[in-house]
Amino acid sequence: MNGAELLVSALENEGVTQIFGLPGEENLAMVEALRRSSIELVVTRHEQAAAFMAATHGRLTGRPGVCLTTLGPGALNLTTGAAYALLGAMPMVMITGQKGVLSRKQARFQVVDIVATMTPLTKMARQIISPVTLPALVREAFRMAQQERPGPVHLELPEDIAAEPAPDAPLISPHPIEMPIAHPAALDRATAMISTAERPLIMLGAAANRPRLSDALSDFVRRLQIPFFNTQMGKGSVAGGSELYMGTAALSERDYVHDAIDRADLIIAIGHDTVEKPPFFMGPKGPTVLHVGYLPATVEEVFFPHVELIGDVGPSLQLLGQRLEGKLPNAGALLPLREGILEHIAARAEESRYPLTPQRIVHDVRQAMPEDGIVCLDNGMYKIWFARNYRTHVANTLLLDNALATMGAGLPSAIMAAMLHPDRRVLAVCGDGGFMMNAQELETAHRLQLSLVVLILEDDAFGMIRWKQEADGYPDFGMTFGNPDFVTFAKAHHMEGSRVEGVDGLAPALEAAFARGGVHIVVAPVDYSENRRVLIDELSAHAV
């Protein structure tokens, strides 16, 4: 057995079944070890996509996704994915190659200090210096990636260590991770606070979406009957409970959901992670904030909770729920605002204009998606509209990135969702800008014979930035581009493509694409004049 084979058996020992990546000379021993293992090597066309896929695997399953590259250029292509997983708290293990460490037959050819590059982008970055250390290092890497707050780790396997005979080192078995539950004193304090609140409101943040938390969280909300809103990444974390849903804070202030937030005297912030664009601004006045989290909140200018309940969130909420159930006369104090807020949000969702308005697009997508269908967003203007307007009923059915907020992750994350859930409808929604950043992965999706629809919203522009540019009073400059004919582009990738030609075209186009199966591109021209009309003019007037 050599170092690469020992590493692969250590990965098997962690329950890894797939690795996403792209080969290079320096990881050939690893590729060969994988060929002879139980692990499937899923080849992507760019390392960045492999990292986005591995991170999404971690996000959706709670178990680290694994990606593999060669040294230098290949490893550097992982950096955006590493940051995506670090800011988004997604467990991921990255394995990169390197030239031999014991000799330098190629001098500095392709050598970049990847461990140093990865250090600020990961929870841990290590070079493997001897096969003997592998079992412990791999176990430590997985433990660290998975444990709260989850994130990426990096292991570098130099090619001579990969080829070196490995001792018969015993592997270390993974053990279940159970976290401590909140301290009784903290539970007492939280109980007192919630009992005396006059207008309580629950906020569900990014960490509320951890796959294992969904049941306990849904149960807590049902028991307390306190209305809730969510941050963008907290969307969909409560199953059912829709009669308590007050909206999504896609903007930081002045949106209709802020009518409730501004009136609350207590906000129970569950799992808020300040990597997200602030869902509201805390100031010297305003509500008391109780932070419920796996870890203490990071104190920021705009988020400084007054009280904390720290510990494994599910079991801690269960204890809190037991103490409070049926004892909250004011639980529903803010509920009367709900109808008005949701009516405003739903306004003009069926407007008959072509090109389509963002509201209409969200509406039609919701119609085409069953409750458990998964929508994976890239980053662009439509993200705000989907966050605000798309209603979710099942946990993790709207995957968006409000942490690194990188363009290019839409298609790779949808590929991963489709691999994990072949029985569900999966839709990637991308702008024409973001789609082109990882369009090469259409080939991957086709090769893997996935069922997946990619909706491209076409405005021939970096629409989101164009909107900000206009809002800031700058002239229109540097924001527009041309596009390939996306229908022909689809055909060239051996898949179907269709273009929405009229206002009633989107819903049937999506339906037909899903019914046909395979990978399908649907192109829809979008009219972004609503950005200004609603998000600036209407909301400014509302704030006054």
Ligand X SMILES: Cc1ncc(C[n+]2csc(CCOP(=O)(O)OP(=O)(O)O)c2C)c(N)n1
Is residue 401 near ligand X by the rule CB under 6 A?
no
Segment contacting ligand X (CB under 6 A): 57-65, 211-219, 363-371, 454-462? 454-462
Q: Where are the beta strands (DSSP E) in 147-221?
A: 152-158, 200-204
- Determine, following the binding rule CB under 5 A, whether residue 459 of this chain makes contact with Mg ion: yes
- Told to check if 461 binds ligand X by CB under 6 A, we report yes
| CB-based contact 243:261 (threshold 8 Å) | no
**In the set 379, 413, 444, 451, which binds ligand X (CB under 6 A)?**
379
Instruction: Indicate which single residue of 445, 464, 490, 509 sits in contact with ligand X (rule: CB under 6 A).
Output: 464
Question: Cis ω on the peptide bond leading into residue 388 (within 30° of 0)?
Answer: no
> Under the criterion CB under 6 A, does residue 276 sit at the interface with ligand X?
no
**Which of 28, 51, 49 minimizes the C-alpha distance to 118?**
51
C-alpha to C-alpha distance for 201 and 225, rounded to whole angstroms:
10
404 contacts which partner out of ligand X, Mg ion, none, CB within 5 to 8 A by kind? none
> Quick one: 178 exposed, middle or buried, by C-beta within 10 A (0-12, 13-18, 19+)?
exposed
Tell me the CA distances in angstroms from 323 to 331, 385, 463, one per residue in order. 14, 38, 49
Sequence-ordered strand ranges (E) for 164-287 = 200-204, 228-230, 245-248, 266-270
260 binds, among ligand X, Mg ion, none (CB under 5 to 8 A by kind): none
Q: Does 53 bind ligand X (CB under 6 A)?
A: no
* Binding residue for Mg ion, selected from 463, 466, 467, 522, defined by CB under 5 A: 463
Among 159, 432, 441, 496, binds ligand X (CB under 6 A): 432
For the chain, the first-to-last Cα distance in angstroms comes to 71
State both tokens at 48.
Answer: 């960045």
Please name the residue ranges forming H helices in 276-394: 313-324, 338-346, 358-368, 381-389
d(CA 214, CA 77): 33
The one of ligand X, Mg ion, none whose footprint includes residue 79, by CB under 5 to 8 A per kind, is: none
Helical axes 338-346 vs 381-389, angle rounded to 10°:
140
Task: Please choose which of Mg ion, ligand X, none residue 65 contacts, taking the beta carbon within 5 to 8 angstroms, the exact cut-off set by kind.
Answer: none
Of residues 431, 441, 444, 509, which one binds Mg ion by CB under 5 A?
431
The one segment of 89-97, 242-250, 428-436, 528-536 that binds Mg ion by CB under 5 A: 428-436
Interface residue with ligand X, options 131, 234, 247, 431 (CB under 6 A): 431
Q: Least Å distance between CB 469 and Mg ion? A: 13
Q: Smaller CB distance to ligand X: residue 297 or 439?
A: 439
Given a contact cutoff of 8 angstroms between Cβ atoms, the answer to whether 161 and 34 are in contact is: no
Least separation in angstroms between residue 135's CB and ligand X is: 37
Quick one: 89 or 439, whose CB is closer to Mg ion?
439
DSSP code for 284:
S
From the list Mg ion, ligand X, none, which binds 406 (C-beta under 5 to 8 Å, kind-based)? ligand X
Q: Decide: helix, strand or coil at residue 170.
A: coil
Residue recorded with tokens 């407007």: 351
The site that binds Mg ion (CB under 5 A) totals a number of residues, namely: 6
Please, what is the minimum distance in Å from the beta carbon of residue 466 to ligand X? 7
Tell me how long the chain is: 544
DSSP designation for 129: -
**Binding residue for ligand X (CB under 6 A) from 85, 87, 128, 405?**
405
In the list 158, 380, 412, 497, the residue contacting ligand X (rule: CB under 6 A) is 380
In angstroms, rounded to a whole number, what is the distance separating the alpha carbons of residues 69 and 470? Answer: 41
3-state secondary structure string, 182-201?
A: CCHHHHHHHHHHHHHCCCEE
Nearer to ligand X, 123 or 466 (CB): 466
| Least Cβ distance, residue 427 to Mg ion (angstroms) | 17
User: Within 10 Å of residue 422's Cβ, how many Cβ atoms?
Assistant: 12
From the list 241, 287, 311, 433, which residue makes contact with ligand X (rule: CB under 6 A)? Answer: 433
**458, 66 in Cβ contact below 8 A?**
no
Residue range at the interface with ligand X (CB under 6 A); choices 143-151, 175-183, 333-341, 404-412: 404-412
> Which of the choices Mg ion, ligand X, none does residue 206 contact, using the CB cut-off of 5 to 8 A by kind?
none
**Contact set with ligand X (CB under 6 A):** 379-382, 405-408, 431-434, 457, 459, 461-465
**Contact set with Mg ion (CB under 5 A):** 431-433, 459, 461, 463
